[in-house]
A and B are shown apart, each in its own frame.
Chain A
Amino acid sequence: METYALLFGSMLSAGTVLALAALGELISEKAGVLNLGVEGMMLCAAIAGFATTVSTGSYIAGFVAGVLAGAILAAVFGWLVIWLGSNQYATGLALMLFGTGLSAFVGAGYVQESLPARMRFTWFGLGDIPIVGPALFRQHPLAYGAMLLTALMIWWLYRTRAGLVLRSVGESPESANALGYPVRRIRLAAVVFGGAMSGIAGAYLSLVYTPLWAEGMVAGRGWIALALVVFATWRPLRVLLGAYLFGGVMMLQFFLQSESIPIPSEFLAMTPYLATIIVLALISRNATWIRINMPASLGKAFNPVS
């Protein structure tokens, strides 16, 4: 029983990285800008956070550095795509490549470094309750932060005026512009927020999840987060559940391997992706639902002078 509780707990932390990056990307896409550079931003944030914490000894400083790294890269991307009108897909890929290379370059000096004492959490002693404790109460604060963020995002997007404005910019920037909203600035703000969230996710990875720096350590999770947003049809709760599903099946397949279940490990390695695609596709198979939730101007440039 203890093993299953630990499995559940590790599912939560595995899903947190994906959830944080995906929720940020969701806001960016809701405003109509598709940022393919999530992986690059996460890598830069990972090295920024790691290097800062190694130099200053403070985890808070590390997370702040990660957020800034993600936000700055996203701001550059936003300027290129929104003001200069460059192709969103190509620029996003360029950002990804740039981020990968820059992080490797900066990180070359930090490969041998390790962080000050690892954090262990048990909230108000709840972490010691048998079964429920290891399952729910031994997480880093950001794991709970991801859940809180999802709730806040649902409220903000669907119950506030500001969220409505963001969604309208994503649906029809021409109409929003005609109503007098500063479409480009709203899009930039959304993109920067997406970058900041990728930054937090990257910093979480290098400071909490695998506290070391190794080149390319994000290992494709940025791409998974990107795909999650689409498969979850741009709904925050589905994104969160998709992230946990992916993280959970990933831990489950390792668990099955260690229990010597006679399924080939290559097949098991496929299951997280397969499960996530199947579940999310089934939930969102209604074509009307997809039409309602997909931002209509996603990927299209907007030029207010035209």
Chain B
Amino acid sequence: MTDLSKRNTLRLAAAAAAGVALTGYGIRPARAADGEPLKAAWIYVGPVGDNGWTFTHDNGRKAVERKFGDRVQTTYVENVPEGPDTERVARDLVSQGYQLIFGTSFGFMEPMLKVAKDHPEVKFEHCTGYKTLPNLRTYEARNYEGAFLAGIIAGMMTQSNQLGLVGTVPIPEVLRNLNSFALGTRVTNPKASTKVIWINSWHNPPKETEAATTLINGGADILFQNTDSPAVLETAESMGKYAFGWNAPQLAYGPKARLASSIIDWSYYYTHAVQEALDGTWATGPNQWWGVKEDTVDLVDVADFVPDEAREKMEEHKAGLRDGSYAIWKGPVQDNTGKEVVADGVVPDDDWLKAINFYVDGVEGKVPGA
């Protein structure tokens, strides 16, 4: 019988743990042999059950499974905090043989870059990022187009000419959505004005409810949001006002309040990326920014009680976005202090859109910290 004194037991336990760790991270081929399914993994910042951002990514993943069947094997890890945990999860996935890894949050950038540099044989895709490597590229969705289309309907249907947006963090992505919404309202209603409240969090249902209540108490009769839960829609329903679904249809939450839903459909992008990986044509390149034209962003489920006039106006602009004949940000565009930010006739490029740091004419207030 082995010596089970405390010192020895600890030594044995340490040796056993080291043994397990070594075999767990043992040498394993990173590339599957022909005939074996492609292994693809998704890293999520939130829960699949958020009915918003992560939910739509997971729907895209499921679409990949449906389309490719046995040719792919997918997995996901949810609720991964941004930072050292991301690196740990990514390394773990690589060691399990995953060859295509998607990271769905901006904050995953540095950890993913680190792991990508150490494993040039694995392909990485980073959503909403901006740094690339030979084996890491970036992608995102033009959800500002959905915000714009929602604004068209909102501008027509508002009776108080006051709209409200519950914002998360004042970064360019959210400012772009806010401004696109306001531009949409101004297309149909030159008197429309949008107030914004920043809750400094991506997912906080009680705070979203409080912000939405404050906006409605301040006179807004249609709300829009950039937050991840249906709380804003729910609050609008209970206070007899209108709102939109965001990221996901969120149909159940506001049967009387929901005018339409701005959604992201990642299935097109994810099946495209997996197809490239299977065909061997996957390569890094400029940021993939897909929108209405690629069926990745859409304004859907327009409610029955929305007047036909508003619906047609929205469809008209959607068709324009789809065939490229209409540009949301075509000049002249002024910020809300009267300064011109886009000259007449100019259509700004994607880099300019990614650096937006002002409120467009139609939004009240000042960008926090600006």
Contacts and interface: CB of A to CB of B under 8 A. Distances in A.
Q: Do A and B bind each other?
A: yes
Nearest to B216: A6
A57 interface: no
B17 interface: no
Interface string B8-39: 00000000000000000000000000000000
A259 B197 CA distance: 9
A214 interface: yes
Contact of A265 (B198, B210, B215): B198
How many interface residues does chain A have, given as a range? 35 or more
A14 B210 CA distance: 8
Contact of A264 (B195, B210, B234, B368): B368
A127 interface: no
Nearest to A7: B217
B231 to A, nearest CB: 5
B215 A260 contact: no
A216 interface: yes
Interface in B152-182: 164, 170
Interface stretch (B45-53, B98-106, B346-354): B45-53
A104 B217 CA distance: 33
Given A118-B238, A210-B205, A264-B369, A112 B252 contact: yes
B214 interface: yes
A255 B210 CA distance: 10
Given A209-B209, A221-B206, A260 B252 contact: no
Size category of the binding interface on chain B:
35 or more
Contacts of B199: 254, 269
B291 interface: no
Contacts of B214: 7, 10, 251, 254-255, 257-258
A107 interface: yes
A202 to B, nearest CB: 12
B268 to A, nearest CB: 23
Contacts of A113: 252
A214 B227 CA distance: 12
Contacts of A214: 49-51, 203, 205, 229-231
Contacts of B207: 219, 250
Contact of B210 (A114, A250, A259): A250
Nearest to A108: B49
A254 B368 contact: no
Given A10-B214, A262-B366, A265-B200, 6 more contacts: A209-B206, A212-B230, A214-B203, A215-B50, A254-B211, A257-B196
15 contacts: A10-B217, A108-B48, A209-B209, A210-B235, A211-B234, A211-B238, A215-B49, A217-B229, A219-B204, A219-B206, A255-B214, A258-B164, A258-B218, A264-B368, A266-B368
Interface of B: 46-51, 55, 164, 170, 195-201, 203-211, 213-215, 217-218, 229-231, 234-235, 237-238, 252-253, 364-366, 368-369
